[in-house]
């Protein structure tokens, strides 16, 4: 049967149903659903238009629109002919064939959006993604990373202690040690995740935040490779025109070490976005790598800081206060 014949068949069937109409409000609702509903007979005919050549579709569409208008007009006329009390009742002011209003389903948090962008940049240049424990022992969070017990370097971290030997990790660098203990080199990973520090909450600091740690271990790895990797990241994340600079710094587990700043046009000042350096040979000794054979670089960046700079957000607390007016800007 051709589509034209099917259109005529639906028209004939509708007229036959109208002849048997019993002035019952349930009948009119049933007619609307049967012919004009989302899964009704008219909708089924519209779905078949895709099976026809593009040149034939205008004529077919016109015929279907005429059928739809004819049925809709006839149904409206029936409603108007009903008892005035019925015609004005709520049964006829609501189109039961309309789809229900969909509830809001939310959106991806702006920090997760930024984190996904960071991951995609590093995955595109050969890094794998790994995750590790947020609650860890002192050795993996400090000792193996060249923080000797009672060393002043531990004062750089404001730590939440679970007990004397267990902490909420203060950086994602703890996963470096887990990875190198489990895998033989070479290896190339980024490690995203939450970290915790016992700091006073203000517009620029919070008791938890997100980091992305990077680790590359191979033979003949150089600081020049680290520099090229991070310059590529900055250009991909902030644009090729964004100014950046390198500054010497200190971290117990890298030597030499550096920090990377980018120019903040909004505040007209340099802002640090990450720390980095060449993996200290003492760290390789702790995990059983021969530092005379293997070399590596590591870096760690704050997701909140990068998000604030990219979107001109001036208060870190906005990420955590649950105000939908703030999050709707990034839907």
**Residue 89 reports pLDDT greater than 70:** no
Q: Is residue 209 part of a domain?
A: yes
Query: Of all residues in the chain, what percent carry a pLDDT higher than 90?
Result: 50
Output the pLDDT for position 87: 45
For residue 234, the enclosing domain spans 110-330
Closest CA to 68 of 91, 45, 51: 45
CB within 8 Å of 295: residues ≥ 6 apart: 217, 218, 219, 220, 221, 222, 278, 279
Mean pLDDT computed over 63-78: 82
pLDDT band for position 91 (cuts 50, 70, 90): very low
Mean pLDDT of the chain: 86
Partnered with residue 272 across adjacent β-strands are: 261
Output the pLDDT for position 47: 81
Mean pLDDT computed over 192-211: 89
Q: Is residue 234 part of a domain?
A: yes
DSSP string across 86-114: HHTSHHHHS-TTSPPPPPP-----HHHHH
Bigger pLDDT: 53 vs 138: 138
Same domain for 315 and 280 = yes
**Residue 204 reports pLDDT greater than 90:** no
Mean pLDDT computed over 156-176: 88
- Two tokens at 281? 């040979």
Same domain for 209 and 87 = no
CB 169, CB 135: distance < 8 Å: yes
CATH number of the domain that 187 lies in?
3.30.930.10
Same domain for 134 and 37 = no
**Residue 212 reports pLDDT greater than 80:** yes
Cis peptide before 19 (omega within 30 of 0): no
Sign of CA dihedral 133, 135, 137, 138: positive
Same domain for 192 and 57 = no
Output the pLDDT for position 23: 58
Q: Is residue 105 part of a domain?
A: no
Domain final residue, candidates 64, 93, 122: 93
Output the pLDDT for position 82: 63
CB 303, CB 115: distance < 8 Å: yes
């Amino acid at each position: 049967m051709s589509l034209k014949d099917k259109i005529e068949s639906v028209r004939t069937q509708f007229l036959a149903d109208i002849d048997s109409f019993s002035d019952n409000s349930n009948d009119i609702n049933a007619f609307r659903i049967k012919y004009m509903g989302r899964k009704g007979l008219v909708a089924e005919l519209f779905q078949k238009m895709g099976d026809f050549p593009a040149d034939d579709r205008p004529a077919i569409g016109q015929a279907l629109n005429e059928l739809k208008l004819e049925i809709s007009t006839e149904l409206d006329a029936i409603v108007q002919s009903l008892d005035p009390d019925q015609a004005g009742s709520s049964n006829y002011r609501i189109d039961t064939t309309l789809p229900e209003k969909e509830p809001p389903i939310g959106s991806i948090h702006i920090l997760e959006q930024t984190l996904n962008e960071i991951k995609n940049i590093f995955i595109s240049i050969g890094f794998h993604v790994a995750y590790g424990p947020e609650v860890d022992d002192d050795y993996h969070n400090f000792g193996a990373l060249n923080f000797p017990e009672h060393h002043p370097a531990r004062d750089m971290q404001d730590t939440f202690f679970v007990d004397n030997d267990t902490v909420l990790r203060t950086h994602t660098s703890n996963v470096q040690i887990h990875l190198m203990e489990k895998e033989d080199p070479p290896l190339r990973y980024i490690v995203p995740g939450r970290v915790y520090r016992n700091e006073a909450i203000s517009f620029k600091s919070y008791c938890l935040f997100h980091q992305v740690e990077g680790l590359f271990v191979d033979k003949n790895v150089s600081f020049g490779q680290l520099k090229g990797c991070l310059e590529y990241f900055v250009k991909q994340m902030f644009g090729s025109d964004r100014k950046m600079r390198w500054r010497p710094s200190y971290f117990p587990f890298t030597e030499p070490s550096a920090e990377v700043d980018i120019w903040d046009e909004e505040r007209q000042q340099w802002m640090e976005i990450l720390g980095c350096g060449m993996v200290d040979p003492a760290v390789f000794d702790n995990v059983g790598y021969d530092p005379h054979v293997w070399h590596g670089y590591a870096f760690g960046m704050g997701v909140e800081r990068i998000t604030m700079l990219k979107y001109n957000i001036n208060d870190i607390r906005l990420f955590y206060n649950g105000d939908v007016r703030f999050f709707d800007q990034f839907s």
